[in-house]
Amino acid sequence: MDTLVFLVSKLAALLLRAETWEALLLTGALIALVRGRLRAARGLLFSALAGLLALGFLPPR
């Protein structure tokens, strides 16, 4: 049981980091580009850019 709690806490910490979400958005955009889904790729790239700008203007404490 202790191992499960440890793994869940580490996974939760990973998912709460902004860098993880940026990497997931950029990976999704790359996959969308490879598959030829330009509209989806554009949306994912726009979301990643907005996230980076938000982190630049409002850095976490």
pTM beyond cutoff 0.95? no
For 15-61, give the secondary structure using H, E and C: HCCHHHHHHHHHHHHHHHHHCCCHHHHHHHHHHHHHHHHHHHHCCCC
Contact 23, 31 (CB under 8 A): no
The model's pLDDT over 20-52, given as tens digits with 9 standing for 90+, comes to 899 999 999 999 999 999 999 999 999 999 999
